[in-house]
Structure 1
Amino acid sequence: MLKKKTAVLFVEPDGTSTTRMQVPTFIISHWKKLLLSLICLIAATIVTVVYVVKQRTSAQYIQVYDKKINELKQQNRLLELEEFNSQLTTEEMKKSFNSIDSTLERINQKMRKRGLKEIKMKNMGGPVEKGEDDLVELSSFYKKQLKSLEAKLDGMPLGVPHPGRITSRFGYRRNPFTNRGREMHSGVDLKGRIGDPVKATAKGRVTFAGYKGDYGYVVMVKHNNGYETRYAHLTRTRVRKGQTVDAGEIVGLLGSTGRSTGPHLHYEVVINDRKVNPEKYFYF
């Protein structure tokens, strides 16, 4: 296709000089198409280069803009916080401390239900003469501490489920039926009268309420943080499986069902499927 040549003569305007050149006949015959193809190729190359550069530049700009926007959002949050603190009036601070007082009272109500001493927070309020900022920080600190304490107390089995005298402690004891040998006693026995109320020692969900072998009538309650409490030898239960109970709520009535020598409450505390001494949780 390119072997066939055609002579092309280049003549100066004054006719004094001429130049002859051999050019493939194919180029002479199709020079318009070839020129158009070359123009299209150059244009496509330019468009591709422009697109790539634009994409890279856009990505860089987006990254920079995102960073700037995040910085501005952060500054805006700080400004909002500063504005809130600057606008916090004495009356609002009083409301904040009243909120602390109400939370503390709510905790103490739960403590009283369990027969435990109230929590008293001394010297609350701090050095007022140092300014409002200290009061704001102090208020926030106490709120967080009390919320955390309340959440822990809700799920921890504190106090006694019945005020009766301890007749058998946790650990090994002589067999009460044969009066011979030793057996492991996995709870605490509290003496009482048939029909005495038995109260939950923490907030939780009832996983069993009914008759269960040596336990007799028993209520089992699951609490937060891996705790479980069991109230056995009841004359009857007052809750049902799946029910949510609060600390101090009556779960059953004391009795002598199951493996029992007389009216009493057998009380167990289990943590992560391991039975522990309930007396460790009687006092706070």
Structure 2
Amino acid sequence: MPEGDTVWQTAQRLHTALAGQALTRSDLRVPRFATADLTGRTVLDVTPRGKHLLTRIEGGLTLHSHLRMEGSWQVYGSDERWRGGPTHQIRAILGNAAHTAVGYRLPVLELLRTADENQAVGHLGPDLLGPDWDPDIAAANLLSDPARPLGEALLDQRNLAGIGNVYKSELAFLARVTPWLPVGELPADTPARLVATAHRLLEANKNSFDRRTTTTAAGRRPGDRLHVYGREGRPCLRCGTAIRKAEQGDGSRERPTYWCPGCQSGPIPGSHHTS
């Protein structure tokens, strides 16, 4: 699932291509909205909210989409060949005289009244890249269920919006605890530091475009842009211990999770003991 910085980048591309222009083409390929015709209406803005995208359109309408694991929005010039996937995977087309935005494999696509956007995104916690960012509320949300493993709490968009599986693993590493540690067992100052670090990292990476980095530049070798994520079996950049990988989830969905047994303390899968 894309992280909040990736969704922010997608919103910027869509906004640049569509905002301020009248739609000359509109095609929503989901049964509920297949007859909706937005041609002639001006796109007002495209705004990210956590991992959600809100395309606001003249006349009080909002096209709400969510990429989840497989979805994507691609922007093409008027004469450019579409390359995002086969035609049967297209769920939405929004075009103007200069650009066409094509939504592929979108699992969530709905047309709402702009006044009803909260029905889609009102459940979200403070947005790490949004104007509503509030670190105190985010930290309090993380602590609202003390028994919950840190990794699950970070991924819960109701606590704070924008963290995905990459940042989950990286943040736990930077906090020097495993993602399975109950949030109530974190040192007193750690939740505040965690949300501050999350905000700093997403802000630093929102314009990086496919070069997400959580490590410092000093002494970094090419390719060592992440501390633990995707580095199973490779040496920890801090202590040299081999990075490990396991699945973590709440029972509904398991996610690959990476950690360093040498640097991170706390519970690990298959054991009631700390690493």
Q: Same fold (TM over 0.5)?
A: no
Higher RCO (C-alpha under 8 Å, 6+ residues apart): 2
Higher helix share: 1
The structure having more radius of gyration, on CA atoms, is 1
- What band does the TM-score fall into relative to the shorter chain? under 0.3
TM-score (norm 1): 0.20
